[in-house]
Amino acid sequence: MDEIRLIIASDSVGETAELVTKACTSQFNQLGNALETIRLPYIETPENIDEVIAIAREQRSIVIYTLVRPDIRKYMKEQLEQYGLKHVDIMGPLMAELTNELNESPLNEPGVVHKLDEDYFKKIEAIEFAVKYDDGRDPRGLPKADIVLIGVSRTSKTPLSQYLAHKRFKVMNVPLVPEVDPPDQLFEIDAAKCIALKIDPTKLNAIRKARLTQLGLNDDANYAQDRRILEELEYFEKIVSRIGCPVIDVSNKAIEETANEIIKIITTNNRYDY
């Protein structure tokens, strides 16, 4: 079947819409790998909505949104209908019914449910940190991170960063590529908060070929060649040996399993207050 793309847009972090979406999509076995979901948080202005619409039009996505402010929600609906995009408004209909039933205007404040939740703010801070410092974008994040993940491409660094962020850890991930020297700061920070993600070359080859196919590219590209993979893994071992950090083999582990192992290592080594 053709790939189904979903965009989750929210004026907060999008947890509500994502939970509803997961509950719905889990009821359809045939979706499998044909489902692609992206979450776009903090949609607060017409300009933000225009960006959502542009992505939805380009990818022919279904837009699922939770927008509290009526003016922003109205603009979203108008733009979606103007371009004939499929969409689901999760909060709007119920808020309208409650307004009529209670004869009371809603607060129209995004994120009220989490307003006084200190743990929630820690989580959001960690999520924003993971996004800002994803893929080694800014080495200045290394000293600030609770956890630094290093590994070659397709070792689940980004998904792990997001998963751990939801556990309130500030995570930065750094890709290791032979042609690009890692930032100097990587060798200056405490090695105890670094985790190297190791993977079996055969497993990595299969993952990369599947990724190339998913992107509509030829699976015999250099990116998925055995020679290239062995070169990258040899470089990985060289960097890890220099840092002297713990190593986790992610070859046959689920994200949750790897994340739990990382948390155990970090809390033991750093006495992190988790």
Determine whether the annotation assigns residue 154 to a binding site: yes
- Is 118-270 the same fold as 4-114? yes
- What's the confidence (pLDDT) of residue 268? 85
pLDDT at 1: 55
Q: Is 32 annotated as a binding residue?
A: no
Q: What is the CATH number of domain 118-270?
A: 3.40.50
pLDDT at 274: 53
Is 268 annotated in a binding site? The answer is no
213 is in an annotated binding site: no
In Å, what is the CA distance from 76 to each residue of 40, 112, 165, 241?
A: 14, 21, 29, 51
Q: What is the 3-state secondary structure (H, E, C) of 40-100?
A: ECCCCCHHHHHHHHHHHHHHCCEEEEECCCHHHHHHHHHHHHHCCCCEEECCHHHHHHHHH
Is the pTM value of this prediction over 0.85?
no
Fold of 4-114: Rossmann fold (3.40.50)
Residues of the chain with pLDDT under 70: 1, 32, 107-117, 270-274
The answer on whether 131 is annotated among ligand-binding residues is no
pLDDT at 45: 92
Asked if residue 156 belongs to a known ligand binding site, the reply is: yes
Predicted local confidence at residue 105, as pLDDT: 74
State the pLDDT at residue 29. Answer: 77
Helix and strand numbers, DSSP H then E, in the chain: 9, 8
**∠ CA 82-40-83 to the nearest 5 degrees?**
10
**Structure confidence at residue 110 (pLDDT):** 63
- Where are the domains positioned within the chain? 4-114, 118-270
152 annotated among ligand-binding-site residues: yes
